[in-house]
Amino acid sequence: MHPNALLELCAELVDSLLLFDKPADALVSDFFRAHKALGQRERHTLAETAYAVLRKRPLLQHLAQSGRGPMARRLAILAWAGNEAFLRGALKEEELQWLKQVEKVDRSKLPEKLRHNLPDWLVDPLRQRLGDEQFWQLADAVNESAPLDLRVNLLKAKREDVQAALKAKGFESAPTPYSPWGLRLDGKPALQKLDVFTSGQVEVQDEGSQLLSLLTEAKRGEMVVDFCAGAGGKTLALGASMRNTGRLYAFDVSGHRLDKLKPRLARSGLSNVYPVQISNERDDRIKRLAGKIDRVLVDAPCSGLGTLRRNPDLKWRQTPQGVQELHDKQLAILNSASRLLKPGGRLVYATCSLLDAENEAVAREFADAHPDFTLLPAQDVLVHAQVETGQAAELSEGGFLRLWPHRHRSDGFFAAVWERNK
């Protein structure tokens, strides 16, 4: 493809993303479906450039003011994530001169909001929580792209064997530092056609998400519920922990999301999973299981702000009002899910949010209203689940699991673990 044609496509994609009327990943998928002739490298350049615009939108819009031509084209030039020489082949002489000028700007001297690239309403709570130094570390971390984490399906393979199989195909990986099931690869390699993937030996799953399944500690022969299963990444991890025995219910209000679980389930070799579409958290099918379940994982609907490395559009699409509505919904779901547990059963509440409002505040409100549940310190649970004592301490804050992109190189996750009193 001619360099200018690819740059124009980039500008078109950036334009559609900046409307913020749909999740960025869905818009990128739609765009690629409409442009089937694009090769792997072109798709990579398009997606990474567009995501770079979303990550640093305030900075790039500020720098773009000095240029000429359509704004989306200027943004795509500034955020270009493909081959440099290829880009230069697409630029007019005046654009090349402008780019040279922009490259001389000392970004460290710019106002704070052009350096952290976060909305004002998000800055204050994060700064209060982390202090100045760590706030800037977090801002830098969430403006980078994430590595690719895989979870090895221990029903089908050992971690070191999968690592060797990936290496044989030219993909270098390293064991995840905390999860005993994970492998981490840099960049965004396409693995879907590899044997380890098609045979169900691995699934794409962030290390933080793996640790939520680890905290649940689902055992052989138990009755377990993944309350907000979505596309089922944690469901599959729980099923493998149960060694494909017992019964594992995957609840979700979205049939569309549960449909995405089916091919993954087929690859995984699990036969103990029962996907169930529910109408809401008070569905009759939930009531019928009340008091019968050993373990419930509630990975609640949340702002997703812990996943900004992967979903940078969320910081521009979320609002403080939206977070408050989520807080109320999270509490309602948690209250409903807690009724499923038998005495001695375990409840895990989790989000992929960075905000106290969706995390500690929900956990505290639930605990105040449920004296029949006892908080289990996350650190102790992780040690019991075979995480080294020092590492378990690194992952815990105030009795909860707390993962931060700048500290742990995972997405931002929170989890609280309770046991129903016997």
**What residues are annotated to the active site?**
352
Q: What is the pLDDT of residue 221?
A: 97
Closest CA to 315 of 60, 137, 123: 123
The helix/strand/coil state of 294 is: strand
> pLDDT-derived band of residue 370, with 50, 70 and 90 as boundaries?
very high
Crossing angle for the helix pair 40-55 and 57-64, nearest 10 degrees?
90
What mean pLDDT do residues 178-203 have?
A: 92
> pLDDT-derived band of residue 328, with 50, 70 and 90 as boundaries?
very high
Q: What is the pLDDT of residue 386?
A: 86
For residues 194 and 347, give the distance between their C-alpha atoms in angstroms, rounded to a whole number.
Answer: 36
Residue 248 has pLDDT above 90, yes or no: yes
Concatenate the DSSP letters of all residues of 319-357 into one string. Answer: -HHHHHHHHHHHHHHHHHHHTTEEEEEEEEEEES---GG
Look at 357 and 386; give whichever has higher pLDDT: 357
Closest CA to 236 of 261, 214, 260, 208: 261
Residue 190 has pLDDT above 90, yes or no: no
**Beta-carbon-side half-sphere exposure of residue 114 (alpha carbons within 13 Å):** 13
Q: What is the pLDDT of residue 112?
A: 97
Catalogue the E-assigned strands of 145-292: 148-152, 174-175, 182-185, 202-204, 223-226, 247-252, 273-277
Q: What is the pLDDT of residue 187?
A: 77
* pTM (predicted TM-score): 0.95
Residue 55 has pLDDT above 90, yes or no: yes
Q: Please classify residue 65 by burial: count the beta carbons closer than 10 Å to its beta carbon, then call 0-12 exposed, 13-18 middle and 19+ buried.
A: exposed
Tell me the average pLDDT of the chain.
95
> pLDDT-derived band of residue 258, with 50, 70 and 90 as boundaries?
very high
Neighbours of 220 (CB within 10 A): 11
pLDDT tens sequence across 234-246: 999 999 999 999 9
pLDDT tens sequence across 283-320: 998 999 999 999 999 999 999 999 999 999 999 999 99
Q: What is the dihedral of CA 15, 17, 20, 26, to 10 degrees?
A: 150
Residue 231 has pLDDT above 90, yes or no: no
- Distant-in-sequence, close-in-space partners of 57: CB < 8 Å, separation ≥ 6: 18, 117, 316
Q: What is the pLDDT of residue 1?
A: 83
Q: Do residues 187 and 48 make contact, with C-beta atoms less than 8 angstroms apart?
A: no
- Distant-in-sequence, close-in-space partners of 170: CB < 8 Å, separation ≥ 6: none
> pLDDT-derived band of residue 186, with 50, 70 and 90 as boundaries?
confident
- Distant-in-sequence, close-in-space partners of 188: CB < 8 Å, separation ≥ 6: 44, 48, 145, 148
Instruction: Specify the residue for token string 């949340």.
Output: 302
Q: What is the pLDDT of residue 213?
A: 96
